[in-house]
Amino acid sequence: MWQAEHVRARLAALYPQCSVEILGMTTRGDQILDRALSKVGGKGLFVKELEVAMAEGRADLAVHSLKDVPMELPEGFELAAVLEREDPRDAFVSNDYASLAALPPGAVVGTSSLRRQALIAARYPHLVIKPLRGNLDTRLGKLDRGDYAAIILAAAGLKRLGLPERIRATLEPEDSLPAAGQGAMAIEIVKGERSDGVDLKALLAPLNHDATARAVTAERKVSKIFGGSCQIPLAAFATVEGTTMRLRAMVATPDGLRSAHGEVAGSWDYPDFLGEQVSILLDSQDAHGILEACRQEAAQADAAASQATGAARDA
């Protein structure tokens, strides 16, 4: 909702003659809070209802956290603008400890991300990592109740909601490489001119931040190549200096024991090419094998959970 209000304010400043209304909606991703996203459908759970509203003409555009947007959009939809990125880093949040390194053996760390889980497990194998779902207030509430010694959140969300003081430490990309699109907002629309002749894409063009759009294009290319979703630990992060883009990427098993890392640099005019190049580097380190191991592990876990549920019903 903060993101929708932000875009409405930006549009009102650009087009004061226009009225912009917000259609508040709850998605399946908001409703299912007792299971990890990787178990219930992944990123698409946060956008489907919004796309239906646009297809039915109830809404003209949807505002998303870009990291929640699937790599392939449904036929007839497109991303019309990517706004300037907020802080893309992960944030360490704790009431009692100053950093991950300060946590004692056995301390419980909460995260909703397999990417974060893999990165933490690789560097701090003595910590216990447990799932954490819910909106920001819910997650902070669980920390404050003592369910976790620390939790890892996106710094962008805390800053946008006026809670930067909850950040005890930010995790630099060298230690916790961000997810593709992390910290960026995107506006999705139905392709083509509307029946009333309004060109929404042209109207939204002033909101597009070129450097951010190019960076996330490279990141999402990596994710697309490897079938990126909430079901696999994958990171991709690009930075732009002048017209040079630096792209780093990583894939790993959730336990952090196997991983592949790559980095490339080149002209920002070819973000897709840079995404392809870093993917080749990852694949030379058996990235597809790592991700296949992730999928097999997830399938085995799902099968075990189904058997347990069946046994409980029989009992």
Three-class secondary structure of residue 39 per DSSP: helix
Element (H, E) at 47: none
Contact 254, 117 (CB under 8 A): yes
Residue 116 three-state SS? helix
Amino acid at position 296, single letter? Q
Please report the DSSP string for 137-170 in residue order. Answer: HHHHHHHHTTS-SEEEEEHHHHHHTT-GGG-SEE
- Cα–Cα distances in angstroms (integers) from residue 167 to residues 51, 90, 93, 111, in the given order: 33, 10, 5, 15
Of 60, 68, 196, 199, which is the active-site residue?
68
Answer whether 125's CB lies under 8 Å from 92's CB. Answer: no
Q: How far apart are CA 65 and CA 147, in angstroms?
A: 27
Active site residue 68: yes
DSSP 8-state code for residue 109: E
Is the CA virtual torsion 301, 307, 310, 315 positive or negative? negative
CB atoms within 10 A of CB 56: 8
Residues noted as catalytic: 68
